[in-house]
Structure 1
Amino acid sequence: MGLLSNRVTRESLKPGDHIYSWRTAYIYAHHGIYVGDDKVIHFTRRGQEVGTGTALDLLLVSSGPARARESCPTCTAPQEEHGVISSCLNCFLAGGVLYRFEYAVSPALFLAKARGGTCTLAVSDEDDIVVHRAKHLLENGFGCYNVFKNNCEDFAIYCKTELLVAEQGRIGQSGQAISIIGGPLAAVLSSPLRMVTTNVYGMAVTAVGVYCASRYATDIGMRGDVVKVPVEELTRRLATGLLQVVESQMPMNLAHQSPQLVTH
């Protein structure tokens, strides 16, 4: 792996690796935990990789990989109550390229990776612990899927670090979500600085700076509102309703409301 790409070979994989693969046009990446024996445990919306409950799904789903009509005999079907599934590596990649997510990167390398959802400043736990968490969540679930608050990248990062964002009402917990909303947000936030510079290049540099700063500040390894929650405690709280991600119930033609992480 290097500065420009996290691409790896299948032979280099080991159980506990956080892997991902970009989908069509690099609109989003799908993340999971490799657990050995050519198997990947990953989080979906009952088998569907993405979904927001809005018109944005038309773009996201159309960018996803074409699925075979016949089910793979080595992959588990999604359960009704949750979307954590086990797939063979081929089905997980769906014809895409294999990448490995990087942990404990330096601030300089983090900022050099312009696209979010590829690395973090947070430190990973031991591989056997990561595999244990993924397998436990396969049996017990990871709560309600939400593309902005509780998605496949959040699942993989939790398996690697045991870290969860505790504060309510935060959008864009994962680096991938920050990339989606960070660009437009940076443009908005940097617009008042037009009073300082009217040069188009200066404005572009300012917008990039705001975007990079937002990525850095919201990274799971830098945030001050994260807590370590053991996986058994997490699934117990989810099962009893003490911890939940609440999805907004809105019409398809309306903007998606911010989901909330609720604790009791």
Structure 2
Amino acid sequence: MPAGLLSNRVDREDLAAGDHIYSWRAAYLYAHHGIYVGDEMVIHFTRAAGHEIGTGTFLDSFLFSSSTSSAVAGDPPCQRQRCGHLVRPDDGVVMSCLDCFLHGGGLYLFHYAVSPALFLAKARGGTCTLAASDPGHVVVHRARYLLDKGFGAYSLFKNNCEDFAIYCKTGLLVETAFSVGRSGQLASLTAAFSAVASSPLRFLTTSAPGLAIVTTGMYCAGRYVSDMGVRRDVVKVPVQTLVAQATPAATEEAACSLTNHPL
């Protein structure tokens, strides 16, 4: 299916197992991402009790209020007995029906292996990447494995739902201790801030059109170099290795916590 220039909207009947989908929240301020696994079900990574590393700002309550975990009686009908965020509310990685995942929003398809021209034409990040996707059955295997084993602690800036979906699709992680993945939405925010506030090139012109051109160029460059498809600090990590590496660290952290704060 060709990537759309103006919109990535897709119909339900066009979905295939292994697709990376998303739905806009809060008047298009941000999007929630997940992996479609077939049979009207989606595996996604969401804020949940015991898994959230809070931002310490109003964003915590704002994002939680729009998350799938906040579904209550009166929401649109769904296969509630199959929805993981209701059956296992303490799990960060859950499987929900498509209706609960969308939470009343539209359905969009995240595109992979797009051309640089199309990537830059998408003014907003978090909708496509230059990185190539693995086959659908591999993507579903990763998502189901992480549904069982977990994807670590949720963090808005370091380990969020888009990071989860991109890892499931590509197996790629940023080779650094600071992040599991790299969200296109946050990369766009960082690029925009850098273009306006940090670039010395903004002083090369005083005209409004010239400033707009310089700022736009820096924004596009910032988005491009942050994409998982062109970065040089990414590595392909098998899902079993990812979980095995994360478990000892979590255990050690818990042990240190008990040592410093005995019951």
TM-score, normalisation: structure 1: 0.84
From the two aligned structures, give the one with the greater helix fraction: 2
| 8 Å CA contact 1:50, 1:60 repeated in 2 | no
Question: In the comparison of the two structures, how many residue pairs are matched?
Answer: 244
Q: Which runs of 5+ in 2 are unaligned?
A: 254-263
Match of 1:257 in 2: none
1:44-94 deviation line (CA, Å, top 9, x unaligned): 121799953323334444565773237922201375764000000000001
Match of 1:158 in 2: 167
Higher mean Cα deviation, 8-17 or 56-65? Answer: 56-65
Aligned pair partner of 1:105 in 89, 106, 114: 114
**Inter-partner Cα distance in structure 1 for 2:137 and 2:244:** 21
Match of 2:28 in 1: 26
1:139-181 deviation line (CA, Å, top 9, x unaligned): 0001111111111001000000000011234698210111233
**Inter-partner Cα distance in structure 1 for 2:166 and 2:29:** 20
Match of 2:221 in 1: 213
SS in 2 for 1:213: helix
Match of 2:257 in 1: none
Q: Which runs of 5+ in 1 are unaligned?
A: 246-264
Map 1:62-141 → 2, pairs under 5 A = 67-69=71-73, 72-77=80-85, 79=88, 82-141=91-150
**Inter-partner Cα distance in structure 2 for 1:169 and 1:243:** 18
- List, as ranges, runs of 4+ consecutive aligned residues in structure 1 with deviation greater than 6 Å: 47-50, 242-245
What percent identity do the matched residue pairs reach?
58
1:194-216 deviation line (CA, Å, top 9, x unaligned): 43210112112211111111110
Higher mean Cα deviation, 51-60 or 103-112? Answer: 51-60
| 8 Å CA contact 2:42, 2:96 repeated in 1 | yes
**Inter-partner Cα distance in structure 2 for 1:178 and 1:222:** 13
**Inter-partner Cα distance in structure 2 for 1:17 and 1:231:** 18
**Inter-partner Cα distance in structure 2 for 1:183 and 1:63:** 24
- 1:177 is the counterpart of 2:186: yes
Match of 1:36 in 2: 38
**Inter-partner Cα distance in structure 2 for 1:233 and 1:171:** 13
1:237, distance to aligned residue in structure 2 (A): 1.1
Distance 1:62 1:44, change over 3 A: closer
Match of 1:55 in 2: 58
**Inter-partner Cα distance in structure 2 for 1:14 and 1:51:** 34
Match of 1:45 in 2: 47
- 1:232 is the counterpart of 2:240: yes
TM-score, normalisation: structure 2: 0.84
SS in 2 for 1:21: strand
What root-mean-square deviation, in Å, do the aligned CA atoms of Structure 1 and Structure 2 show? 2.7
Distance 1:52 1:171, change over 3 A: farther
Distance 1:208 1:49, change over 3 A: farther
Aligned pair partner of 2:18 in 16, 19, 24: 16
| 8 Å CA contact 1:21, 1:98 repeated in 2 | yes
